[in-house]
């Protein structure tokens, strides 16, 4: 019984990582129909943001608060990845709606650009760049409200950008001097130092639960509940669902459809950044870390049903449990009296890579019977 519970816990933990990584894709792909191959790189940006935040908290002034840097990293990872997603939607995706092949190729090119950007630009200067863009966007919003029409719009935007660039360059220069590691860290993998309370495990008799896995499961639960509330209880969530079901009618009713598109893409991208925080707690962070999750994210979204939040929850949990049961060879331990012919097949797939092959084959079989996924959309949304 203990072995079974341990396998279920590991499966839920694996599924939680997949689910939190797939949540953003479930919004972008499920609700907007955009095939975003750069989603893995948004996860990567969230993981690097976690490393940058924990580097700040190692400074003498903030070191007493090092134990809470994870909470701060979640907020900044959401903002950084959401900002990149917002820029991606406004500059590339907006011109390609309804053209899935072109969107796929464009986002694949963006993913390569982001990978090379991380490889070549030190984290100190990339931090200054994102800070410049964030300050420019916020500054234009605040300056427009405070100054109103006292200055010409072009002069206001120019002044805000000049100020943001000066602050960004100064910040990058200061970071390079105060934190030499960030001035050098780019192509090589980096390791995130977990706070003391995130290390070790929780002992329950003969069973030990790793604390990082518990934290990731808790973060996933909060993310799912937050997405559910946002889509079903908030005003902008109602607008997103309205635009998804009938864009023309929503536009006639005065809903700003372009703003809804930008917000949806920004929220989905921000959730990818939150997934990067979880991924950074499991191992080293490198430029290719997002590529390890992009296929699994699409598997979760397609198997659960495009646009179905609870379908993504069920699919990720099922994939996680099967991965642990088959890949770790636990099925042989749980069922020792397995028939010899079946035992040989299980032993053949008792590695992580081969388990993924078997699970992918099972998903293909399921989609042959249920092409729209386990929880297909009903009503008008299924027609878009």
Decide if pLDDT at 268 tops 80.
yes
Decide if pLDDT at 1 tops 60.
no
CB 157 within 8 A of CB 140: yes
Decide if pLDDT at 144 tops 70.
no
Query: Which pLDDT score is estimated for 270?
Result: 92
Query: Which pLDDT score is estimated for 162?
Result: 83
Q: How far is CA 195 from CA 68, 189, 199, in A?
A: 8, 19, 7
CA 188 to chain centre: 21
Decide if pLDDT at 380 tops 60.
no
Q: Quick one: what percent of the chain has pLDDT higher than 90? A: 9
pLDDT tens readout for residues 37-64: 899 899 999 998 998 888 888 888 888 8
How far apart are the C-alpha atoms of 139 and 159, rounded to whole Å?
Answer: 10
The arithmetic mean of pLDDT across residues 14-35, rounded, is 82
Query: Which pLDDT score is estimated for 3?
Result: 64
CB 381 within 8 A of CB 311: no
Burial of 282 (0-12, 13-18, 19+ CB in 10 A): middle
How far apart are the C-alpha atoms of 13 and 10, rounded to whole Å?
Answer: 5
Question: What is the widest separation between alpha-carbon atoms in the chain?
Answer: 83
Q: What percent helix, strand, coil does the chain show, rounded to 5? A: 75, 5, 20
Query: Which pLDDT score is estimated for 225?
Result: 92
Decide if pLDDT at 250 tops 80.
yes
Query: Which pLDDT score is estimated for 307?
Result: 72
CB 300 within 8 A of CB 315: yes
| Mean pLDDT estimate for the chain | 81
pLDDT tens readout for residues 68-126: 899 999 999 999 899 888 888 888 888 888 788 888 889 999 999 988 888 887 777 77
Query: Quick one: three-class SS letters along 190-258?
Result: ECCCCCHHHCCEEEECCEEEEHHHHHHHHHHHHHHHHHHHHHHHCHHHHHHHHHHHCHHHHHHCCCCHH
Cα Rg, the chain, nearest whole Å: 22
> Tell me, which fold does domain 2-121+186-383 have in CATH?
ABC transporter involved in vitamin B12 uptake, BtuC (1.10.3470)
The arithmetic mean of pLDDT across residues 265-272, rounded, is 90
How far apart are the C-alpha atoms of 82 and 123, rounded to whole Å?
Answer: 18
Query: Which pLDDT score is estimated for 181?
Result: 67
Query: Which pLDDT score is estimated for 379?
Result: 46
How far apart are the C-alpha atoms of 310 and 376, rounded to whole Å?
Answer: 11
Within 8 A by CB and 6+ apart from 198, the residues are: 70, 211, 212, 215, 281
Decide if pLDDT at 205 tops 80.
no
Query: Which pLDDT score is estimated for 118?
Result: 84
pLDDT tens readout for residues 172-202: 777 777 776 666 655 567 888 888 888 777 7
Query: Which pLDDT score is estimated for 329?
Result: 66
**What are the boundaries of each domain within the chain?**
2-121+186-383
């Amino acid at each position: 019984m203990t072995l079974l519970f341990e396998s279920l816990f590991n499966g839920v933990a694996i599924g939680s990582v997949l689910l939190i990584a797939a949540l953003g894709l479930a919004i972008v792909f499920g609700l907007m129909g955009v095939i975003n191959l750069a989603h893995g790189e948004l996860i990567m940006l969230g993981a690097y943001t976690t490393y940058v935040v924990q580097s700040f908290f190692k400074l003498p002034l903030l070191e007493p608060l090092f134990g809470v840097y994870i909470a701060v990293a979640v907020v900044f990872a959401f903002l950084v990845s959401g900002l990149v997603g917002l820029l991606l939607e406004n500059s590339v995706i907006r011109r390609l709606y309804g053209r899935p092949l072109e969107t796929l190729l464009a986002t694949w090119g963006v993913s390569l650009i982001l990978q090379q950007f991380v490889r070549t630009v030190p984290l100190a200067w990339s931090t200054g760049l994102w800070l410049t863009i964030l300050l420019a966007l916020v500054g234009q919003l605040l300056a427009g409200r405070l100054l109103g029409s006292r200055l010409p719009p072009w002069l206001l935007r120019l002044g805000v950008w000049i100020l943001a660039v000066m602050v960004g360059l100064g910040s990058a220069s200061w970071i390079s001097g105060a934190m030499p590691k960030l001035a050098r860290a780019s192509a090589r993998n980096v390791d995130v130092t977990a706070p003391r309370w995130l290390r070790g495990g929780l002992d329950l008799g003969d069973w030990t639960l790793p604390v990082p896995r518990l934290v990731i499961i808790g973060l996933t639960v909060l993310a799912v509940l937050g997405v559910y509330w946002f889509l079903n209880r908030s005003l902008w969530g109602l607008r997103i669902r309205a635009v998804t079901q009938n864009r023309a009618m929503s536009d006639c009713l005065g809903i700003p459809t372009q703003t809804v598109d930008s917000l949806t893409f920004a929220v989905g991208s921000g959730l990818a950044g939150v997934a990067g925080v979880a991924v950074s707690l499991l191992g080293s962070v490198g430029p290719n870390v997002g590529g390890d999750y992009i296929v699994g994210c699409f598997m979760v979204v397609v198997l659960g049903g495009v646009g179905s939040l609870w379908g993504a929850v069920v699919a990720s949990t099922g994939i996680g449990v099967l991965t642990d049961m088959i890949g770790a060879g636990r099925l042989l331990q749980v069922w020792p009296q397995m028939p010899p012919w079946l035992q040989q097949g299980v032993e053949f797939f008792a590695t992580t890579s081969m388990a993924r092959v078997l699970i992918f084959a099972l998903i293909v079989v399921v989609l042959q019977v249920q092409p729209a996924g386990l929880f297909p959309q009903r009503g008008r949304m299924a027609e878009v």
